[in-house]
Amino acid sequence: MKAKKLVALLLAVLMMVSVFAACGGNNESSSSQESKQESSESSKEESSEESSESGGETEAGNVNLEGYPIVKEPITLSMMGARAGIHGDWDKMEFFDIMSEMTNINFTYDTPSGEVFQEKKNLALNSGNYAQVLFGSQLTREEQVKFGAQGILLPLEEYIDKYCPNILAMFEEKPDVRPSITAPDGHIYSLPTVSYSPLMSTAMWVNIDWLDKLGVKPEDLPTDVDGFYDLMVRFRDEDPNGNGEKDEIPLNVFDDADKGDGIYNQMMAYFGVLRPEIYVDDGGKIHYGMMDENAKVAFEFFHKLYSEKILSQEMYSHSAADATAEGTEGRNGAGYHALPRFIFGNMEMEKEATYPIMPALSSSVNPEQTCIRGTGITQGTFSLTDKCDEETVIAMMRWVDYLYSEEGSWLIHYGPEGHIWEYSENDPTLHKYIFPTDGRNVEEVRGGEITPDCGLALPKWVRDSTEGAWDDVQQQARIAWSDKSLNPYNKQYLPDMFLTEEEQAVVDMYATDLKNYRQENSAKFVVGDKSFDEWDAFVDGMKALGVEEYIATYQQAYDRWASNK
Ligand SMILES: [Ca+2]
């Protein structure tokens, strides 16, 4: 680990040298950057000496460095965040009241609505009239780089190391997180939502009634694409809905918005291609998936499924609602979605709990069962600006660190016991909802008066166990199937990572044309408008659109990410 860090440091120094050399004409900014770096280095040394000398120091001015309240005399800070449509007034939310009681830290709130938030945020940050605390402010990686370099967003990493045991524990347990939130200049300007749950892979739900009819047990579902194909043929040909008509849609997929990517994203993985565009393989090599040889094998399979009417024939045009309507008519055999009800129509929760998940599949070119999962990281949920003094920064870092504890992560998402949830009488380690009696649903109460962590990403660390902490038969079934059929085989296709401004500019130059070309041709191969004899020409077309430089740029960003690990 130490050696790895040393290598990373050397690499960083080398890269800095080459950056300075490369932009020799830009002396002013690089030297000021250099001196900033120096001064932060020296203050780091001083402060670490200080803390090692004073050892048991527990307070700094008004701030208690341990325990609660965090500040002795109450303070009030300005906060800006995006108000979601479901939100009530932030100043009336229970979450902030509880935090205030515990910490003595209060806020005034500036919460423009989600639709205009981006504009208001930019206006604030560019005019100098911004809040001390940016909470749920959806700071993109580009914004973190830009406003961090301007000194508006404060670097948080030294405070994390000194005052944030919960965040450090998260870094330790989830080693991807720290490099993913570290900007290319080495600073952490914003904290993320980190959410690792057993439900990180999208499920393909299978029609349990049809399996019963065909005498297939859920535990005997196929584990490779050939077995999958055979089952789909039976769904198509054996009238499993029993109406005497050949009206079954074995695999109903919908993608009016995404031009097919929703399906490719899931099914290409069965062929070892983790994404149609950028993904990283186990050896740390970046691919543009459609350039892989296996992509052709995958698309030949998709074409077979489409031409044999196993895939819905409207897969490029109909919407999620259209697909659900066909499910309600009893025509759907399988489909990808969060819950069975969206594929098969509304049903009782007990019934829904009986639907199995199709396992991750293998294929002749990819002998290991494979499916994909997301990164679990949402960027830019908490930042502090240069309107905070040193004491305020320490206090707020202690405040936000609590949200990464198990208790704090639960509090910010669900609020305190007795409002929308209580412990289950069946099993006191599990929770169940208290359903409101005034006509609102649970989410409306949660976002209305309990917490802004409803339709808005906020700083917290959702543990693997959180989703499982509910006394809910459907949820428990979904977790059990995911743990059995998906989670042992899922791969993260790409870590969450920063691009430098230069890298972003290169990527922006190629991304749209490549995507349009890829999607347009992909659909033609699937529906049979283009012969697979033309595949090589298609690959040459991607090369002509700059795919090799596109890949190299991501490789550079990935290598930097990996060196920070
Ligand atoms: Ca039928």
Interval between CA 210 and ligand 1 midpoint (Å) = 11
Interval between CA 236 and ligand 1 midpoint (Å) = 8
Phi/psi at 72 (5° precision): -70, -55
Task: Decide: 78 and 129 in contact? Cβ < 8 Å.
Answer: no
**Average pLDDT estimate for 381-401:** 98
Has residue 44 got a pLDDT over 90?
Answer: no
**CATH architecture, range 203-373+495-563:** 3-Layer(aba) Sandwich (3.40)
Q: Looking at residue 481, what is its pLDDT? A: 96
Q: Looking at residue 59, what is its pLDDT? A: 82
| Cα distances (angstroms) measured from residue 42 to each of 16, 30, 65 | 18, 18, 22
Interval between CA 253 and ligand 1 midpoint (Å) = 18
Interval between CA 212 and ligand 1 midpoint (Å) = 15
Interval between CA 240 and ligand 1 midpoint (Å) = 6
Distance CA 390, CA 300 (A): 60
Interval between CA 241 and ligand 1 midpoint (Å) = 5
Has residue 55 got a pLDDT over 70?
Answer: no
Interval between CA 252 and ligand 1 midpoint (Å) = 15
Has residue 413 got a pLDDT over 80?
Answer: yes
The residue ranges of every structural domain in the chain are 60-197+376-464, 203-373+495-563
Q: Residue 51 belongs to what H/E stretch?
A: helix 27-54
Mean pLDDT of the chain: 90
Q: Looking at residue 6, what is its pLDDT? A: 44
Has residue 2 got a pLDDT over 70?
Answer: no
Interval between CA 521 and ligand 1 midpoint (Å) = 33
**Among the four given CATH numbers 2.40.10.410, 3.40.190.10, 3.40.309.10, 3.30.70.1400, the one describing domain 60-197+376-464:** 3.40.190.10
Q: Looking at residue 515, what is its pLDDT? A: 97
pLDDT digits 0-9 by tens, 58-75: 888 999 999 999 999 999
Q: Looking at residue 57, what is its pLDDT? A: 75
Interval between CA 367 and ligand 1 midpoint (Å) = 34
Distance CA 531, CA 538 (A): 11
Q: Looking at residue 193, what is its pLDDT? A: 97
Q: Tell me whether the omega of the peptide bond preceding residue 74 falls within 30 degrees of 0, making it cis.
A: no
Interval between CA 247 and ligand 1 midpoint (Å) = 5
* pLDDT tier for residue 257 given thresholds of 50, 70 and 90: low
Has residue 24 got a pLDDT over 90?
Answer: no
Q: For the purposes of burial, counting CB atoms within 10 Å of the CB of 528, is it exposed (0-12), middle (13-18) or buried (19 or more)?
A: exposed
Interval between CA 441 and ligand 1 midpoint (Å) = 37
Q: Looking at residue 338, what is its pLDDT? A: 86
* pLDDT tier for residue 26 given thresholds of 50, 70 and 90: very low
Interval between CA 320 and ligand 1 midpoint (Å) = 22
Q: Write the DSSP string, 194-228.
A: EE--TT-S-EEEE-HHHHHHHT--GGG--SBHHHH
Interval between CA 238 and ligand 1 midpoint (Å) = 8
Has residue 27 got a pLDDT over 50?
Answer: no
Interval between CA 338 and ligand 1 midpoint (Å) = 25
Q: Looking at residue 331, what is its pLDDT? A: 97
pLDDT digits 0-9 by tens, 174-210: 999 999 999 999 999 999 999 988 889 999 999 999 9
Interval between CA 245 and ligand 1 midpoint (Å) = 4
* pLDDT tier for residue 358 given thresholds of 50, 70 and 90: very high
Q: Is there a common fold for 60-197+376-464 and 203-373+495-563?
A: yes
Interval between CA 198 and ligand 1 midpoint (Å) = 35
pLDDT digits 0-9 by tens, 512-533: 999 999 999 999 999 999 999 9
Interval between CA 330 and ligand 1 midpoint (Å) = 9
Has residue 556 got a pLDDT over 60?
Answer: yes
Has residue 395 got a pLDDT over 60?
Answer: yes
For the chain, give the percent of residues with pLDDT over 70: 90
Has residue 367 got a pLDDT over 50?
Answer: yes
pLDDT digits 0-9 by tens, 133-150: 999 999 999 999 999 999
Interval between CA 272 and ligand 1 midpoint (Å) = 34
Interval between CA 249 and ligand 1 midpoint (Å) = 9
Q: Looking at residue 464, what is its pLDDT? A: 84
Interval between CA 192 and ligand 1 midpoint (Å) = 48
Task: Decide: 305 and 267 in contact? Cβ < 8 Å.
Answer: no
Interval between CA 216 and ligand 1 midpoint (Å) = 18
Q: Looking at residue 256, what is its pLDDT? A: 67
Interval between CA 78 and ligand 1 midpoint (Å) = 62
